[in-house]
Amino acid sequence: MFKKINLVKNSFNLLSGISFLFNSFQSVFADFLFGILYFLIFEKLYYSKIDYPFLVLLTFLVFLYFVFLIPFWGYHMEKGVNVYQKNLTDLVFTTILNRNSDVHSSENITLIQHDVINDSKILGWDLVVLFQAILSGIISTIVIFNASYKMLLLLYILGLIAIISNLFFIKIIKKLYLCIRKNIELKIKYVSEYVNNLIIVNIYGLNESMESDILKVLREVYKQKLRIKIYETITFFIDNMVYKIGFKLVIIIYGMYLVSIGSINFGYLLLCFSMVEGIIFFLSYTGEYISVIQKLFISISKVNTFLYSKRNSEKSKFVLKPISKVEFRDVFFKFFDSKEYLIDGLNLEFDFSNNYIICGKNGIGKSTIFKLIFGILKPDKGSINFKYCKLENSGNPVYVSQEPLIFSGTVRENILLDKKDVSDDKIYEVLQTVCLDNWIDSLDDGLDFYIDEKVSVLSKGEKMRLTIARALITNPQILFLDEPDANLDVETIKLIINNIKKLYKCKFMIISHLTKYNIYNEDFKIIEL
């Protein structure tokens, strides 16, 4: 907290502090000057005595106040606020760099910038306007009390109705703003996961699922904002009825009564009519400020938490490490639109010193097991436990979907994706491993042959082999193959698996609707679902 206290000291100089005080008196001066003008004009007209030199001088002072002094004080106060905002921004970004924070997590850089701006507002115009409202309320109360304490009491009783309704709706609105904030953080998380893991998302065919999650959050935010708008409209209507109509009627009706009985003259009634704006300002802005300050404190809390707590960046659910074992313990899983569990109390252990085949009829949950291992899906009950290992010269587990994904681009780009410093010899090696060497040699452009994902000349089998080649370029620790036999013939699969075993140290986990006797040899363990 000392960091921010020092920031305030270093950001606001004496002139900006004085400007803050003068800005706080801004509305009081304005109401008072106009009130005095009204009083002098009508009072002197009533007695047929107008001091024109004094009236001209006062008018000049009003002009000077509004044209020169208000902009001068406003400029220097805002200068201090802007310096504070810049210093706070520097502090936040220094913290991000020193902590090596993931700015694509819930502390997304855009959200942090928004919080910093809100944090700086606490020392800006919102606070100044609150002081203006309080001072205006005090001065106006004194002026109207001098006319009639009963009229003043009527005004405050009427204002109490608006304040109570404001406080009631402010409590609801605060909860909605907190929900919106959480949903915005959730949306940023989903979008970041989607963008940063676009390749894996496409491989898994999760586009619709993740887009659905994002749209669901956006719909919730829209509903919450709509509710806030409704509540704010209700409070705005009540405020207008009370302050714009009720207060003016009290001043006019009760004030005319006071004039008629000789308690005050017409000039003082006009002064009261002008000064009642100060009470309206005080009562209405107090309720509004409570609402504003609650929103600001949400951002201030987020900035403070970011600066002063030791938080670890969220890790992507797609990031994998070399796995030695996976244990399923009483795992239950069902899709949200299903009443029955697809996976019902599954207990399995995979030791990746072995190769595995998962067999079973369509729709029994074979691919779901892969997605549970990769963390794309989460079990409803039970646990999935991982034992990790450290392997030299080995990559991470890699998944090859039943629906191979090919991008518009060259053969080289489709295999390498974002990998760099990979020689063409290595690319030719993986193509030979998946039996695409004759195909690549037949192309005039070779590795520079352009593939259009929408008008592809590749068969499904060629796409599958190209996708396996993409996986092999990463030197995978475990190769997860989802029903490769759906797109490749038996002899080709046998040849590819034998080639991989000769050149790579990776293990296999394969989903198949065929038995081991058709394709796979004796070193595969069979899991039948």
Fold of 323-528: Rossmann fold (3.40.50)
Beta strands 450-451; 409-410: pairing state: antiparallel
343 pairs with which residues across the strands?
A: 333
**Phi, psi (deg, nearest 5) at residue 329:** -120, 105
Residue 124's pLDDT band, with cuts at 50, 70 and 90, is low
What lies within 8 Å, CB to CB, of 287 at 6+ separation is: 162, 163, 166, 167, 170, 235, 239
- Copy the structure tokens of residue 483: 């029903």
**Phi, psi (deg, nearest 5) at residue 96:** -60, -45
Distance from C-alpha of 106 to C-alpha of 289, rounded to nearest angstrom = 28
User: Does 2-308 match 323-528 in CATH topology?
Assistant: no
Distance from C-alpha of 429 to C-alpha of 91, rounded to nearest angstrom = 50
Share of the chain above pLDDT 70, in %: 71
Q: Is the pLDDT of residue 311 over 50?
A: no
Mean pLDDT of 423-448: 90
Residue 105's pLDDT band, with cuts at 50, 70 and 90, is very low
Quick one: pLDDT at residue 384? Answer: 87
Beta strands 398-400; 478-482: pairing state: parallel
Distance from C-alpha of 399 to C-alpha of 484, rounded to nearest angstrom = 11
Amino acid at 367: S
Quick one: pLDDT at residue 117? Answer: 67
Question: Which residue ranges make up each domain of the chain?
Answer: 2-308, 323-528
The Cα-based distances of 453 to 400, 407, 408, 498, 514 in angstroms read 17, 5, 5, 29, 29
Q: Is the pLDDT of residue 467 over 80?
A: yes
Across the chain, what does the average pLDDT equal?
Answer: 77
- Copy the structure tokens of residue 423: 């020689």
Q: Which CATH number fits domain 2-308: 1.20.1560.10, 3.40.50.620, 3.40.50.10800, 3.40.47.10?
A: 1.20.1560.10
CA proximity to 407, closest of 198, 212, 209, 196: 198
Contact 353, 401 (CB under 8 A): no
Q: Compute CA 281 distance to the chain's CA centroid, rounded to the nearest angstrom.
A: 34
Q: Following DSSP, what letter does each residue of 348-373 receive, concatenated? A: EEEETTSEEEEE--TTSSHHHHHHHH
Long-range pairs, 14-18, Cβ under 8 A, ≥24: 15/76, 16/76, 16/77, 16/79, 16/80, 17/80, 18/76
pTM: 0.45
pLDDT by residue (tens digit) across 156-209? Answer: 999 888 888 888 888 888 788 888 878 877 776 776 666 555 555 655 566 677
Strand, helix or coil for residue 116: helix
Contact 318, 200 (CB under 8 A): yes
What lies within 8 Å, CB to CB, of 438 at 6+ separation is: none
Distance from C-alpha of 40 to C-alpha of 430, rounded to nearest angstrom = 95
Q: Is the pLDDT of residue 40 over 50?
A: yes
What lies within 8 Å, CB to CB, of 146 at 6+ separation is: none
**Torsion on CA atoms 9, 14, 20, 24, rounded to nearest 10:** 130
For the ranges 322-331, 381-390, 505-514, the maximum mean pLDDT occurs at 322-331
Rg (CA), the chain: 36
Burial class (CB in 10 A: 0-12, 13-18, 19+), 519: buried
Mean pLDDT of 22-40: 69
Quick one: pLDDT at residue 3? Answer: 55
Q: At what angle do helices 26-47 and 14-24 cross, to 10 degrees?
A: 40
Q: Is the pLDDT of residue 514 over 80?
A: no
- Copy the structure tokens of residue 136: 């205006």
Contact 316, 194 (CB under 8 A): no
Quick one: pLDDT at residue 175? Answer: 85
Share of the chain above pLDDT 90, in %: 9
Q: Which is it for the CA torsion 336, 337, 343, 345, positive or negative?
A: positive
Beta strands 524-528; 355-359: pairing state: parallel
pLDDT by residue (tens digit) across 331-344? Answer: 998 876 677 888 88
Q: Is the pLDDT of residue 522 over 70?
A: no
What is the number of other CB atoms lying within 10 angstroms of the CB of residue 470? Answer: 24
Distance from C-alpha of 290 to C-alpha of 303, rounded to nearest angstrom = 20
> 3-class secondary structure for 133-193?
HHHHHHHHHHHHHHHCHHHHHHHHHHHHHHHHHHHHHHHHHHHHHHHHHHHHHHHHHHHHH
Q: At what angle do helices 460-472 and 424-433 cross, to 10 degrees?
A: 130
- Mean pLDDT lowest among 112-116, 186-190, 221-225: 112-116
Q: Is the pLDDT of residue 256 over 60?
A: yes
- Mean pLDDT lowest among 134-138, 428-432, 495-499: 134-138
Distance from C-alpha of 419 to C-alpha of 133, rounded to nearest angstrom = 62
The Cα-based distances of 72 to 20, 67, 130, 341 in angstroms read 11, 9, 20, 70
Residue 432's pLDDT band, with cuts at 50, 70 and 90, is very high
Distance from C-alpha of 326 to C-alpha of 358, rounded to nearest angstrom = 14
Mean pLDDT of 487-494: 84
Residue 512's pLDDT band, with cuts at 50, 70 and 90, is confident
Amino acid at 387: K
Residue 361's pLDDT band, with cuts at 50, 70 and 90, is confident
- Copy the structure tokens of residue 346: 């599954």
Amino acid at 312: N
